[in-house]
Amino acid sequence: MSRTNDPNLKSWVEVPPGSDFPIQNLPFGIFKTPGLTPRLCTAIGDYVADLQVLAEHGFFDDLGIDPRVFARPFLNDFIALGKAKTGAVRSRLSEILDDNLEDWDASQLADYFLHRQSEVQMLLPVRVGDYTDFYSSREHATNVGTMFRSKENALMPNWLHLPVGYHGRASSIIVSGTPVRRPKGQQMPDGAEKPVFGPSRLLDFELEMAFVIGRETALGQSVDIADAEDYIFGLCLFNDWSARDIQKWEYVPLGPFLGKSFASTISPWIVTLDALEPFRTEGPKQDPNPLPYLQTKGPGSFDIQLEVEIRPEAGEGKVVCQSNFKHLYWSMAQQLAHHTVNGCNIRVGDMMASGTISGPTPDSYGSMLELSWRGTTPIAMPDGSERRFLLDGDTAILRGWCEKEGLRVGFGEASGKVLPAE
Ligand code: MN
């Protein structure tokens, strides 16, 4: 276990109980304020720490990094330095914020580089080049297959042999807090003879996580599954907003298109694989055994608790789903090995989402489609209203965190409010 994971570390910055951002997390993000241009930061307790200012004060001088990399509006150039360098920065941040290490004590400079999270604007952390969405939850694929085909043929014949996925739209990936306009499109209502055009009536969230590619490959090169995690910089929360009526009419034969591409919301913090290491765990047992290029040794999943809250415009919110990343059948390493096995190249900042993460119980389903079972079992809200799908004014809030023996490492939120169609 690396120094940064030591559960006994404490910061001189106050970290409230239950915070997602203890000194053991130190995720990376981008923030700005009315007076400060976009720049790199980490999170500690209720604060962000400005990496550009720390670089200007020489805290990273011995790490052999161009200090201008901390003043960029995206993390891409920083991530591209490689894990040896980015890990060294994280390790230095751990020293800077540690209340026991006086060599690197920056507490005298706190006023210069710490800002309350409530007083800064978090920006999209990564310029996403390509975005892929997998479909790696067996429970989700089974639920959807049962609804749209039959219980017996819920999983397609390929599903247990490869991580199914599709290429998504990167331009509409947005950061938490950005409102989402209800999309319009073609739909074929049940029993109708002709398609209609209008606002989607079946707007949904999908509870997912995504990993960010940290190292590029050349065209023609495949990532060996044993090395796959070297290519993964970190993870964030991911809401793959879905318009079920548009999706249902358009998706045969080529798959998701306009029912998905109008928006995907991510959390502003990229949590490194290093920070997640204490929470590594086995995924589900795989039967049949996958082909050799998809076979892994050792635990390839992480115990990340996930939840989704729906908060009406004027009313109390309700947590409608509690799930866990560890339910995913296919691991990130398997997804990446499969993605590149044909020679498809990957680039720093590419984003690969997990697919909806549903668990085994009805309260762990990761979409309204499943929670309300196509609208047949509505969810009761605290204000007495019901939800089959999302209404205008609703905010969907995804949260994720790991917790073990008093250590909590979290992702913050991926939140988005539904605005009425224009
Ligand atoms: Mn999805």
| Nearest in space to 239 (alpha carbons), one of 314, 177, 312, 158 | 177
CA of 151 to the centre of ligand 1 (A): 21
Helix (H), strand (E) at residue 411 = strand 407-419
CA of 134 to the centre of ligand 1 (A): 7
Enumerate the active-site residues. 140
CA of 209 to the centre of ligand 1 (A): 10
Q: Edge-to-edge, what's the strand order for the sheet holding 180-181?
A: 180-181, 407-419, 395-404, 305-311, 318-324
Which residues are CB-neighbours of 310 under 8 A, at least 6 positions away? 317, 318, 320, 379, 381, 387, 390, 394, 395, 396, 397
CA of 422 to the centre of ligand 1 (A): 25
How far apart CA 157 and CA 172 sit, in angstroms, is 32
- Strand pairing class (180-181; 407-419): parallel
Block mean pLDDT (10 aa), the chain, length 422? 86 96 98 98 98 96 97 98 98 94 82 97 98 98 94 95 98 98 97 97 98 98 98 98 97 95 98 98 97 96 98 96 98 98 98 98 98 96 97 98 96 98 95
Number of residues in the chain: 422
pLDDT at 353 (0 to 100): 98
Rg for the chain (alpha carbons), in Å? 22
Locate tokens 């894990």: which residue?
83
CA of 355 to the centre of ligand 1 (A): 4
CA of 136 to the centre of ligand 1 (A): 10
Ligand 1 being an ion, which residues bring their Cβ within 5 A of it? 133, 206, 240
CA of 390 to the centre of ligand 1 (A): 16
List the beta bridge partners of residue 40.
Answer: 30
CA of 218 to the centre of ligand 1 (A): 27
CB 389 within 8 A of CB 204: yes
Residue spans of alpha helices (H) in 35-82: 51-56, 76-79
CA of 133 to the centre of ligand 1 (A): 6
CA of 300 to the centre of ligand 1 (A): 21
CA of 353 to the centre of ligand 1 (A): 7
How far apart CA 201 and CA 246 sit, in angstroms, is 9
How far apart CA 357 and CA 323 sit, in angstroms, is 7
pLDDT at 107 (0 to 100): 86
How far apart CA 303 and CA 131 sit, in angstroms, is 24
Domains of the chain: 3-123 (2.30.30.230), 131-419 (3.90.850.10)
How far apart CA 105 and CA 115 sit, in angstroms, is 17
CB 327 within 8 A of CB 304: no
pTM of the full structure? 0.98
pLDDT at 1 (0 to 100): 57
